[in-house]
């Protein structure tokens, strides 16, 4: 049950204890704990409630995607459209390279978020000749790319 880690991470991201979340869901702490540890499967109705409570999609909650929001034409910003245009201009090989780097960065972001690092510049990771710096502000992660000097 891959969602149990996601459930714990989301709860911790909101700085809620198991007891606090159980109260929000109108259930006993022991019942909630069984869901979070994977002892019991989460019913679809409860999964929908949890996804709404945390403001994420069901796919994200279930561990089927790393992106925690829904994508639609209305939610895509101009800089995101620009990135998509640039991505489409890349060769197949470069798209694969970019996908690998993004997966690695998202993995770092996920690990750092669960560790609750609070300061900017919390993690630095090198990929070839590019230095990619990952910083955290609150719950959101952002990336800064620096060119090699």
Entry field: residues in the chain: 149
Average pLDDT of 90-118?
Answer: 75
Torsion of CA 54, 57, 59, 62, to 10 degrees: 10
Residue 32, pLDDT above cutoff 90: yes
The DSSP output letter for 14 is: T
pLDDT for the residue 35: 93
Residue 41: alpha-carbon gap to chain centroid: 22
Full set of structural domains in the chain with CATH:
3-61 (1.10.260.40), 78-146 (no CATH)
pTM above 0.75, yes or no: no
Q: Give the three-class secondary structure for 110.
A: helix
Closest CA to 34 of 4, 70, 57: 4
Segment (H or E) for 103 = helix 92-115
- Alpha-carbon span 55 to 5, nearest angstrom: 17
Q: Strand (E) positions, 1-149?
A: 123-127, 130-137, 140-146
- Alpha-carbon span 42 to 13, nearest angstrom: 20
Per-residue pLDDT tens over the stretch 6-28: 899 899 988 999 999 999 999 99
Per-residue pLDDT tens over the stretch 34-90: 999 989 999 999 999 998 898 888 888 888 877 666 565 666 788 888 888 888 898
């Amino acid at each position: 049950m891959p969602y149990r880690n996601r459930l714990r991470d989301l709860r911790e991201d909101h700085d809620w204890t198991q007891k606090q979340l159980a109260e929000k869901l109108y259930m006993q702490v022991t019942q909630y704990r069984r869901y979070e540890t994977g002892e019991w499967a989460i019913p679809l109705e409860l999964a929908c409630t949890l996804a709404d409570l945390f403001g994420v999609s069901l796919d994200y909650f279930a561990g089927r995607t790393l992106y925690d929001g829904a994508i639609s034409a209305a939610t895509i910003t101009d800089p995101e459209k620009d990135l998509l245009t640039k991505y489409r201009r890349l060769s197949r090989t470069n798209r694969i390279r970019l996908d690998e780097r993004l997966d690695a960065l998202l993995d770092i972001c996920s690990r750092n978020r669960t560790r609750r690092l609070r300061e900017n510049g919390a993690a630095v990771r090198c990929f070839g000749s590019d230095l990619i710096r990952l910083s955290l502000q609150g719950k959101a992660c952002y990336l800064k790319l620096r060119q090699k000097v």
